[in-house]
Structure 1
Amino acid sequence: MSNAAKKRLLQDFQKIRLNPPDGVNASPKKGDLMKWKAVIFGPKDTPYEDGIFMLEMIFNDQYPIKPPQVRFTSRMFHPNVYADGTLCLDILQGAWSPSYDVEAVLTSVQSLLDDPNPSSPANAEAARLFQENRVEYNKRVHITVEESWKNATMNESSGEDKEEEDGDSKSQPSTSRPRRLHR
């Protein structure tokens, strides 16, 4: 791993630990600064409200010159999320800037939940329902929200998000809901 990438990732992690952003959390996986686990809480007053959505972020030696790879590990029904959890989000592609950090990426993903772009769909069915049948779209989203609760509970009870006894449990993202987004 390059020193520049390592330095920047440590800065990003320190920033999130010292001043956690509303509704998101992230931390490196144990023993690998280039792979992070993250959680996004569904934004208030959206169909995703109260969802607990897990993601993985994979960085390369070119970070922050190149964006991380980001994908939901929780099942997601959204116009801009592919079946494998990969996102169709401009800042993760051509609109990336080295000034973006982990917090900016996660808050952008969270904003995407509130403001889908159906004209650039990764999931054609979700985009169609979002535009043509919002009631059915909201029902499908609600199913993923309920699944997210079960998955978050299973991850916590299995110890998947916890460090070994000799590890630092603060280095894993908490699925306890942080402060709410205020609009």
Structure 2
Amino acid sequence: MIKLFSLKQQQKKEEGDGPAKSGGQKRASAAQLRITKDINELNLPKTCHMDFPDPDDLLNFKLSISPDEGFYRGGKFTFNFKVGQGYPHEAPKVKCETMVYHPNIDLDGNVCLNILREDWKPVLTINSIIYGLQYLFLEPNPEDPLNKDAAEVLQNNRRIFEQNVNKSMRGGYVGSTYFERCLK
């Protein structure tokens, strides 16, 4: 009984002292601590840029990739990252905001990248995802498609695939789908 009473007193004292000592801030979650570490250790390629719409919220940010080689050279593609409280044990949710003609990105912005799904491991970082996304633009993978039409064209006729990518990036129709201009 005495121990329980003294624990409750100690808790009340800590709650009373807590905000005054920490400046009114809540304790950072494991996800916030890890994302802060990941961002501080980032080694962004020159073709990538990060933007934090709310500088106090590191769990939600945007990444722009502007490939300087390959089919998508000259384009600018924006991805939205939502890092959940389960991070680093759960992969962040990543969606492409730029509609793109790509075998591994569907027209709704879903991204097919193995480390965002079954191959995610807590040792992977935001940097790993950024390099994985960048690699998708350098080497689209028709073997694991989300956009089956684009994958089929890439497998059967690379020249027509390249023409479709160029049409979509300039702004225009590929088949019955209209793409907004995304060239820089």
| Fold match (TM-score > 0.5) | yes
- Identity of aligned pairs, percent? 28
Deviation at 1:43, TM superposition (A): 4.2
Preserved contact between residue 25 and residue 40 of structure 1 (Cα < 8 Å): yes
Give, in whole Å, the separation in 2 of the partners of 1:70 and 1:78.
16
Aligned to 2:101: 77
- Matching residue within 58, 63, 79 for 1:33: 58
Which structure's relative contact order is higher, taking Cα pairs within 8 Å and 6+ residues apart? 1
TM-score for the superposition, normalised by structure 1 = 0.73
**2:50 counterpart letter in structure 1:** A
Give, in whole Å, the separation in 2 of the partners of 1:33 and 1:108.
20
**2:130 counterpart letter in structure 1:** L
Give, in whole Å, the separation in 2 of the partners of 1:28 and 1:9.
13
Residue 6 (structure 1) aligned with residue 32 (structure 2): yes
Aligned to 1:142: 166
**2:29 counterpart letter in structure 1:** N
Runs of 4+ in 1 over 4 A off after TM superposition: none
Larger Rg, first or second structure (1 or 2): 2
- Matching residue within 140, 146, 160 for 1:122: 146
- Matching residue within 67, 90, 95 for 1:66: 90
**1:55 counterpart letter in structure 2:** F
Preserved contact between residue 28 and residue 36 of structure 1 (Cα < 8 Å): yes
Secondary structure in 1 aligned to 2:153? Answer: helix
Aligned to 1:168: none
**1:34 counterpart letter in structure 2:** L
Deviations 1:20-64 (A, max 9, x none): 3332222433143221111111241x1111211111011100111
Runs (5+) with no aligned partner, structure 1: 153-183
- Matching residue within 95, 117, 129 for 1:93: 117
Give, in whole Å, the separation in 2 of the partners of 1:20 and 1:113.
16
Preserved contact between residue 37 and residue 57 of structure 1 (Cα < 8 Å): yes
**2:96 counterpart letter in structure 1:** F
Runs (5+) with no aligned partner, structure 2: 1-26, 171-180
Deviation at 1:136, TM superposition (A): 1.5
Give, in whole Å, the separation in 2 of the partners of 1:2 and 1:127.
43
Give, in whole Å, the separation in 1 of the partners of 2:48 and 2:168.
18
Q: How many residues align?
A: 147
Secondary structure in 2 aligned to 1:32? Answer: coil
TM-score for the superposition, normalised by structure 2 = 0.73
**1:14 counterpart letter in structure 2:** N
Q: Assess, with a 3 A threshold, how the Cα gap between structure 1 residues 102 and 144 changes in structure 2: closer, same or farther.
A: farther
Residue 42 (structure 1) aligned with residue 76 (structure 2): no
Aligned to 1:22: 46
Aligned to 1:107: 131
Secondary structure in 2 aligned to 1:79? Answer: coil
